[in-house]
Chains A and B, each alone.
Chain A
Amino acid sequence: MSKESRMKATVNQKLTEMGERERLKELLRAKLTECGWKDQMKAHCKEVIKEKGLEQITVEDLVVEVTPKGRALVPDSVKKELLHRIRTFLSQHGT
């Protein structure tokens, strides 16, 4: 494993152990709902399902179609805030 992935794993372990991961997930959920991202994604999923047909569609199809757009539409302010939260947490619980 590369040094970067080892660091990622350590950070993830710390976040999970202290329950911070769950808190960050909830914060992210709330922020994305607030800024309308959730509704945009819902609308996009509906379009994809209409295109592919309700009977044939699988979760995998949706994931492949929706992931790139979802990642691109996350507002910068949300990214900044989460990054700040993570930094603060790591500085307080030194790794």
Chain B
Amino acid sequence: MSPAGCSHVNGYKVDNWKQNLRVIYQCFVWSGTAETRRRKAKSCVCHMCGAHLNRLHSCLYCVFFGCFTKKHIHEHAKNKRHNLAIDLLYGGIYCFVCQDYIYDKDMEQIAKEEQRKAWKLQGIALSLSAVSACVCFVFTGIGEKYTTWEPTKRELELLRHNPKRRKITTNCTIGLRGLINLGNTCFMNCIVQALTHTPLLRDFFLSDRHKCEMQSNSCLVCEMSQLFQEFYSGHRSPHIPFRLLHLVWTHARHLAGYEQQDAHEFLIAALDVLHRHCKGDTINDNGKKANNPNHCNCIIDQIFTGGLQSDVTCQVCHGVSTTIDPFWDISLDLPGSSTPFWPLSPGGDGSTVNGESHLSGSTTLTDCLRRFTRPEHLGSSAKIKCGGCHSYQESTKQLTMKKLPIVACFHLKRFEHSAKLRRKITTYVSFPLELDMTPFMASSKESRMNGQYQQSVDVLNNDNKYSLFAVVNHQGTLESGHYTSFIRQHKDQWFKCDDAIITKASIKDVLDSEGYLLFYHKQFLEYE
């Protein structure tokens, strides 16, 4: 079984054999075009028994297809003395004299080229699992198929020059690092902890995907990249994020200064600056750089941007006006605020789906989401101009999720800044480890309106299921308080991050905490 093939192929390698072989691959093994597919569908059956299963092989010397399992191709080989056949499923070349598959370098080369051509024509979608640290991630957007990683010469060189290796076991703490508080900067530290433990973001930065186009040294994305390097370096001493703080002050002036800031505001400002600085990495379908800031495809948009659908229904003609706005987070009102929380609208059985604990009537995250997506009657003082009636009419407005982001961030509005009072709402809101967003989708609302209460496809549709991976908490009052965070490592291990101090936490600690910012990650990803 040497890579030089067997000597019996030499009888085949005459005249125009390369072209003939290519035609066989294109027509019968990897059919890329609709025409070749039609031909393949019609003609690829066994000439002796008509079956298309049973490991069909094609003779290389003449037009004959035969089953391998039923030995039909073997009979043909013996009778006609045609010693070579090709497996139509995988493209392997079988030699009947050697009685095994052979690997001839020239033929392998042709096989690889034809396979790649066919894949490109088909543009097959990939899918990957988000929670495991999957390095085999192709960001090009072209129809490239997943192949296992083979190191290049340069990479082998680098590996030899840097012999130190780190083994990742289930209880190793790589990726965990404390952050020094530089003067009320706990709001920034928590967000940094959450971002460095966002699996997709981590994969993006650790595979060096950022190509910086900024001339100065003030690129926040480069600084994030550095931060990831620091976190995964294996150092256990706390990191001092002074450069990050300085860059944030430079690019988001409203957050500068040593007073305590809002962690949620920092999150949005950070995502905004990262999104703006990612210009060099955005590539749209044609391979050109995207110039439109609203139609961006940078890593921040790929991970965090969702679509919120707003339907305004005219109460007179029942015409619906729909708009879809992008969002990076969902801000949820809480009971106890000046805006009334109850009553909820009927329909949408969220709480039982998500299995949250209802401790003697405590509010759940699903309750908040149901309230967020309920139809709201806009009073007579807020009439909307209806396109159907051509006049101002009363209407109801309803928000639903049109497109879910890969990472969903929920912001519980605990800080009330109304004209009457400034206070913090400390009501306990219970949130689940696993969240199913199906009841809050625009598509679910449409099915409910059409009278379908259960979609059987949803049982198999894993697309709306999320897992909690980070929680940011605020202790104290509006005037003086402290932020800490919980982050998830290795699927089921949680750690509490209190500035420079990292301690192991139990799932109960996490779920019993007050909750201010909740970060959820999609469980399964489909690559478009």
Please state if B124 and A26 are interface contacts (CB–CB under 8 Å): yes
Find chain A residues with CB under 8 A from B38 CB.
Answer: 17
User: Shortest distance in angstroms between A75's beta carbon and chain B's nearest beta carbon?
Assistant: 13
Please state if A59 and B125 are interface contacts (CB–CB under 8 Å): no
Does chain B have a CB within 8 A of A12? yes
Among the stretches B126-134, B305-313, B477-485, B486-494, the one at the interface with A is: B126-134
User: Shortest distance in angstroms between B209's beta carbon and chain A's nearest beta carbon?
Assistant: 22
Contact of B126 among A5, A17, A30 (CB under 8 A): A30
Find chain A residues with CB under 8 A from B37 CB.
Answer: 16-19
Find chain B residues with CB under 8 A from A34 CB.
Answer: 127-129
Please state if B51 and A59 are interface contacts (CB–CB under 8 Å): no
User: Shortest distance in angstroms between B99's beta carbon and chain A's nearest beta carbon?
Assistant: 7
Quick one: which of B106-133 are within 8 Å of A by CB?
A: 122, 124-129
Please state if A9 and B50 are interface contacts (CB–CB under 8 Å): yes
Please state if B460 and A80 are interface contacts (CB–CB under 8 Å): yes
Interface string of A59-95 (1 = CB under 8 A from B): 1100000000000000000001100100000000000
Most A CB atoms within 10 A — which of B31, B37, B51, B101?
Answer: B37
Interface string of A36-80 (1 = CB under 8 A from B): 000000000000000000000011100000000000000000001
Which residue of chain B is the closest to A20 with respect to CB atoms?
B37
Complex Cα spacing A58 to B146, Å: 27
Which residue of chain B is the closest to A22 with respect to CB atoms?
B122
Complex Cα spacing A77 to B129, Å: 16
User: Shortest distance in angstroms between A53's beta carbon and chain B's nearest beta carbon?
Assistant: 12
B residues contacting the other copy or chain, number (CB 8 A): 28
Complex Cα spacing A22 to B37, Å: 10
Find chain A residues with CB under 8 A from B51 CB.
Answer: 5, 9
User: Shortest distance in angstroms between A9's beta carbon and chain B's nearest beta carbon?
Assistant: 6
Does chain A have a CB within 8 A of B175? no
Please state if B100 and A59 are interface contacts (CB–CB under 8 Å): yes
Does chain B have a CB within 8 A of A7? no
Does chain A have a CB within 8 A of B317? no
Find chain A residues with CB under 8 A from B34 CB.
Answer: 17, 19
Contact of B52 among A9, A17, A22, A80 (CB under 8 A): A9
Complex Cα spacing A94 to B318, Å: 37
User: Shortest distance in angstroms between B36's beta carbon and chain A's nearest beta carbon?
Assistant: 10
Among the stretches B39-47, B176-184, B253-261, the one at the interface with A is: B39-47
B-to-A contact residues, CB < 8 Å = 31, 34, 37-38, 40-42, 44-45, 50-53, 92, 99-101, 122, 124-129, 145-146, 457, 460
Give me 15 A-to-B residue pairs in the complex whose CB atoms sit less than 8 angstroms apart, sorted by A's number: A1-B50, A5-B51, A8-B53, A9-B45, A12-B41, A13-B41, A13-B42, A16-B44, A17-B38, A17-B41, A23-B125, A27-B127, A30-B127, A30-B146, A59-B100
